[in-house]
A and B are shown apart, each in its own frame.
Chain A
């Protein structure tokens, strides 16, 4: 397996534009997580899915953020409209099985909103 795959790797967009980040988890993994990493706030959990169902989105900062997981192999994180303070590295991670196990992270998407 190629691991967790995120796209794009880098995104530069203008304030007010819509941004969509994509993630393909490891095949067979049933939990998927979106994290945001900044120098100031570290690694923040935004939302996580279990068996494609959003379990907890309490970390989503504002209504401008939304996430979907239409099937077991694909998830999106959308920001609309984007703002400069959304600039960060966004990681997707997936884990296998119930119970606590290793989280495999994607390479991340570095988002810059100008």
Chain B
């Protein structure tokens, strides 16, 4: 199956700074890479995703980059705010068409005001 590694496990930044979280995957056939945000005591929710036909996608302060050759993708959050504090998970599918997602181990982001 797919092996998804995520780092760092914790990240602390000052409000207004940028945060970058990285993930690597093992299955070269993977073609869809979502990022989920989980606030304390709540469910994971999709914040951005990217498909393998593009190298970068941006949505306001959030962007994701994908390097298929190196099999890694990253989440970039600019101008961080305290409400960005949460656990972020990357994921990659193990089998095309069946949505079998393997999640990374999560990154706990703390944005200090």
**A-to-B contact residues, CB < 8 Å:** 31, 33, 35, 42-43, 45, 48, 50, 55-56, 58, 91, 95, 98-103, 105-108
Contact = CB atoms under 8 A, between A and B. Distances in A.
A2 to B, nearest CB: 13
Given A100-B96, A102-B49, 4 more contacts: A33-B99, A56-B98, A100-B51, A101-B99
Given A43-B89, A103-B46, A107-B43, A98 B103 contact: no
Please report whether the interface of chain A is mostly helix, strand, loop or mixed according to DSSP: strand
B99 A43 contact: no
B98 A43 contact: no
B33 to A, nearest CB: 9
Nearest to B106: A42
Contacts of B42: 107
